[in-house]
Structure 1
Amino acid sequence: MLYGLIDCNSFYCSCQRAFDPDLKHRPVVVLSNNDGCAIARTAEAKQLGIKMGEAWHLVRNERKLSDVRWFSSNYPLYADMSRRVYQVLLDYSPRVEPYSIDEMFLDLSGFSDNLQTHCAAMRQAVQQITKVPTCVGWGPTKTIAKLANGLAKDRPELEGLCDLTDPQTRQRFYRNVSVGEVWGVGRRLVPKLHDAGIRTIEQFVEAKPAHIRKIMAITGLQLQAELQGESCLQISEMAEARKGMACTRSFGRPITTYDEMHEAITGFANRAAEKLRAEGLDAAHIAVFIQTNRHKRDDDWYANQFSMSCEPTNDTFAICRHASRLLKQIWLKGYRYTKAGVMLNDLAPHGQQGTLFSIASTKQTHETLMVAMDDINQKFGSGTLFPLSAGIKRAWKPRQAMLSARYTTRLTEIMEAQAW
């Protein structure tokens, strides 16, 4: 078995650049929800000293950053671009496993004779079709492929491609690469490994299994075996079943009235229900939380959460109704709320659970309505149809002052070309 990992470089920023050639060599930064802090940076932005997590309001007026293009996060665009990358990869690998929005594992078995050429062609195809630059690493296990990908990204001399199939090549890198670079070795484990005299990957691989197990339990033994070339983790084309999902937001300004909070909670419940239906799931447990800003010394701190079990459902109106009931339990007047959310748990495939007292005709009517709503929102853009209780003006919605167009998911925001 041969595994590959392809990783999109500065993915959020690359998605912005894909639709604006003027950004090609300019520093680009994508901000978190509410235009808070940097969550993605191009190489040019990193060279200017912009750090991950740096607050935008503290640096936006610095003279040296005058050429930086700042963008509000545009998750519908990023998710669709990830889907497009995935579609391209299916032409180059029989099995593709999305690991995150910008990373995907590949089954490269059968391409060993011309692997370098094959991976280079795959990388070029992704660049040409989606305009997203990538790096590719490969090896006999997923852990080695992940390590190879990191080397391909960090070492310019590798030109975005790293082959760790040869044991001697791996040994050369293992001798000089920190154990902290290994997939699965988190920050908390690095000091423990250092205390045990394990600082490089070579030392980790050569350590006695009993020693590794004492520090990292069975996971450490699995990791050691993977780095030795013994595959313990397989490619999975089926994503693990969700245990829960949530829709939470920080507000663009504090909410002080019940009506506005009710709008927000209903909107979150509506979006969560849409996610359920998209994945063919029902939820049997709903929770709602609200909170103020604990860091604002002038405001009183308050946070609360309430939850309930219910008949399994993915019906927007049922979930909104339950969420409204929960909000009434925790709402307190006189506070300045800055964040809230709706969480759904006890998830199961749609229609698998039910009660003896379910009214079939009513459920069928609601399901037909949900299908119609989803079809319209998919055709004309998310948010075309929604419960009126979710509000129309939504003055509290998160700040997105620098939001780009949703070029690939909303027809009214598609790119326009002019012929001369």
Structure 2
Amino acid sequence: MELITIYYKVSKNRILGISTEIKTEEYVNFIEAENFDNAILKFSEKEYELSDEQREELEEIFMDDESTAEYTNEDLSEGFKIKHWVSNRSFGELIDMYENKEIKIPEMQREFVWNSGKSSRLIESIVLGLPIPPLFLLEVNDNEYEIIDGYQRLTTVFNFVQGNPWGGKKEKGRNIAAKLSSKNILNEIAGKKFNDLDEKYQRKIRRSTIPLMEFKQLTPGDFSSKYLIFERINTGSDKLNAMQIRKSLAYGEFMINLYRYANSDENYLNLFSVSQIKRDIHVEALLRFLAITDLVYGKIQIKRNGIKNILDEYCELCRNRNISEDRIKQFFKILHELLQIFGSENIFRRVNSDDKYEGVLNIGILEALLGTIVEEGVSVKEDIESMYKSIMKRIYEDAILDKKPNPFSANTGTEEMIKKRYEITKEIIGV
């Protein structure tokens, strides 16, 4: 079981910085952890508090490590056959392509979040002839593209030129055309709508070009490349995590259902911190229940290993399907019964050799325990907590004393560990 060393600098029980390298001489302390949960536990044992940003940084460290491990040499040589080329197109041409649906904006890709000031500055930059960051497009059919990155930029220009509000045309209410900020550098365009601009500025906006990075997946039916591309170019200040990338790229009825159900139950939401909910961790937990359980019970076939890859592919396979409402109702029913027995502080936690619950909520336990109970169609027994503590204590001691990998925290996306998780939860519920 490979451990990752996390160096950190501390002052008055506050962590000031974490890194996988010794950045400065202040990084004299370190922990070694096998996964994110284990790292959080070790910092907790030292009574150090981590900020939300530091937790996200830790999560990224372990996610990157696990994601890399999920790609085999065969994946890298065969799976990612990508053709790419660089081109330049005018905003006028891109507006026409967008209007004719040659460029598709996923329904659930990031909502328009730019404010009027930021939108106005982009238009001013075009008028001034300043360089604009490129758009990334994935060719999915002849003359048909999905936008991978650059949604805010393209939508800003489209709405301004078309006379829509900055956030897009509304079905109800008044649609007031976007206008530039009155504080623009150029007085000639300040406070004006597109139709109010001098023709020379209208032409400038339409004829100005923007670089495009265009990609095409050469392996038919393989969705992996667009996720890899998005991950690698997803470096902005509002960087998306794996679930948020799926929301952007695997749009459709399934994703709409998934987000609606994940936000529909108060008891479920209370399992997660505000920071986790903001990062859609609760959505990914529900997705894991659906995807990994379907995989274990033979309802789907997935080509790749690794939790991230499994979830990516599952979302693509199911993107136009509805989620069974009965299945979700059963999920929440069982969850409520388990909460009555375990309590929110203990549910889905590890059990140490002292018979005490420890650590943070473990999504692997949530996924497997709820998945097994729902799929086996059994009732929650009154003695489930005693069985749970006994068996999970054994798993803990096997991992600590015998150095056996814990399937709930190590190599969680391998076929072996997935099967072991469900074997353990079947033992817990007695099937």
TM-score, with length taken from structure 2: 0.23
Bigger share in helix: 2
Bigger share in strand: 1
TM-score, with length taken from structure 1: 0.24
